Structure 1
Amino acid sequence: MTGRERTALGPPPASVAGFPAYSVGEGTDLFRAHGRGLGPWWFGNDGTGRFDLRTPRGTCYVALDPLSALRERLGPVLGGSQAVPESLLEESVVSRLRLSAARDVANTQDRGAAVFGVTRELESTVPYAVPQAWARAFDEAGFGGVRYGPRFTPGDSSALALFDAEGAADWPVDPDPVPAQQVPGAPAALPNPRRSDLTVVRPPRTRAVREGS
C-alpha cells in the first residue's frame, strides 16, 4: 500500500478555535428525509451517523436541497444503483424545515478548513470514529453543527449535521412533507414483487436413517 492509498485524515487538533464558520439563518430552508410516521427533528447518538455525538448530546442530519436529503437516507441501499425498492420510497417523505434561531456551524467545505487538517475524507471515510471525534471537538468549541459534502450526492451539494440535546426536539415541522417519489430527481422505484412472481422452493424431503439399515 502506497502513501496515497492510506487515509490522510487524522483526529482533530487540540483546538479548533478559528475554524471557518457557516451561518445558518432562521430563513434558511433545510430538508430532512425521514420515515412517513416519524417526526423530522430527531437528534440521535447511537453511533450509526457520521457526526454522531455522545449522550446527552445528539445529531440531526439535514441537507440544503431535498434531493440530497433523500439520497442520504437512501444511500446505503442506493449505492451505485439508479433504483431502490418501491417500498422504501413509499415509506419515506421529505420535510422542509427552518431553525427557530440562527446558529453557526463548522464549515468543512471552506478551503480554510485544510489548515486544521481537514480533507475530503471527512465526508466519506468509514468507519465513523474519526469524523465523530471531529464532531465532538466542534460541539465542545461551541459550533452548532457541521457543514459538509453529502457522501451519496456528488457536486456542490451541502448537508448539515446539527447538534442539540439527544432525542426528539419539539420544533416546528412541515405540515405537508413531500412523498419521496415526488422529489425531483428521486431514484426510480423497483416494483414490489407480486406473490404470483415468486417461486416457492420447498425444502427436500428428509428421511431418518435407522442405525444398521
Structure 2
Amino acid sequence: MARIPSAALPLRLHRLSHWTSPWWFSSAGAGDQGGRFGLPTPHGTCYLAENLEGALLEKVLRRPRQLVAAEQLTGLFHVKVAVVTPAPTADLTAAAVTGLGVNAEISTGLDYAKPRAWAAALHRAGWYAVRYALRGDSSLRQRGVALFGRAGLHRRAPAGFRTSLTTLDPVEAAALLERRGVGVHPIPLARDLPLVPPSG
C-alpha cells in the first residue's frame, strides 16, 4: 500500500443530511447497503464531497434523473466540514493507481465487492480515508471522500474535523442542478392537474 498516492484534502468538505448529526458511519451489508467503500462491522464509512455540487450529486443524482422534485431540497441540512488536521487519505483518482490494477470502475461500477475489498485493505494499512470520483458526475471531475471510523452515529465530529450546519439554500441547489440540465420543479397539487374525461 506504500505506492498509493496520498490525497491533499481541501480546507472544507460537504455533506447533505436530513439530520442535525451528520456523522453516520455505515457498515457494509448486502448489495449496496453501507455504500461503495463500506467496511465490515464494527467499522464503518461516512461519505463526504469536496464541494456542494458533489454533495448534491451524492444526495439526489446517484441514479440518472432529468427532474428533481423541489420538495427534495427542502428540509436538508448543508453540513460544512472544516478540515483542521488532514487525515491520511488514499487517492484512488491519481494516475499512479492505474499500475495497481485500479481504474474508474472502483468509483463507478455497480458491483461493490472490489471497492470494499480495497477499502478494507487500505483501512488495515492505516489509511483513514479514500478519495474517489463521484459516479453521478458524467465528467468524473467531482470528488468524494469516504472517511473510515467506528460504525454508527457519532454525535461529534471526528478528531481533526470541525462541523458547521446550515439549512440548504434551495435556490443555490436548484441552480447547480439546472446547470447540469436537471430540472427542479414542485410536485403539482391535485387541484392543479387537468381533468381528463374517460374515453368512450
Partners of 2:146 and 2:166 in 1: CA distance: 23
Secondary structure of the 1:103 match is coil
Pairing partner for 1:74 from 52, 57, 60? 60
CA contact 2:16–2:59 (8 Å) conserved in 1: yes
CA contact 2:73–2:168 (8 Å) conserved in 1: no
Pairing partner for 1:98 from 77, 82, 86? 82
Partners of 1:122 and 1:176 in 2: CA distance: 32
Question: Which range moves more in the overlay, 183-192 or 124-133?
Answer: 183-192
The alpha-carbon deviation at position 99 of structure 1 amounts to 3.6
Pairing partner for 1:121 from 102, 105, 121? 105
Partners of 1:93 and 1:186 in 2: CA distance: 17
- The AA in structure 2 aligned to 1:117 is G
Partner of 1:13: none
How many residue pairs get matched?
181
Partners of 2:83 and 2:152 in 1: CA distance: 16
- The AA in structure 2 aligned to 1:34 is S
The alpha-carbon deviation at position 155 of structure 1 amounts to 4.3
Higher gyration radius (CA): 1
Secondary structure of the 1:87 match is helix
Q: TM-score, normalised by structure 1?
A: 0.75
Partners of 2:73 and 2:114 in 1: CA distance: 31
Structure 1: segments with no counterpart, 5+ residues: 1-15, 201-213
Q: TM-score, normalised by structure 2?
A: 0.80
- The AA in structure 2 aligned to 1:91 is G
Partners of 2:140 and 2:192 in 1: CA distance: 39
Question: Which range moves more in the overlay, 135-144 or 174-183?
Answer: 174-183
Structure 1 residue ranges, 4+ long, deviating more than 6 angstroms after superposition = none
- The AA in structure 1 aligned to 2:26 is G
Matched, 1:193 2:185: no
The alpha-carbon deviation at position 125 of structure 1 amounts to 0.5
Partners of 1:131 and 1:167 in 2: CA distance: 20
The alpha-carbon deviation at position 137 of structure 1 amounts to 0.9
Partner of 2:2: 17
The alpha-carbon deviation at position 175 of structure 1 amounts to 3.5
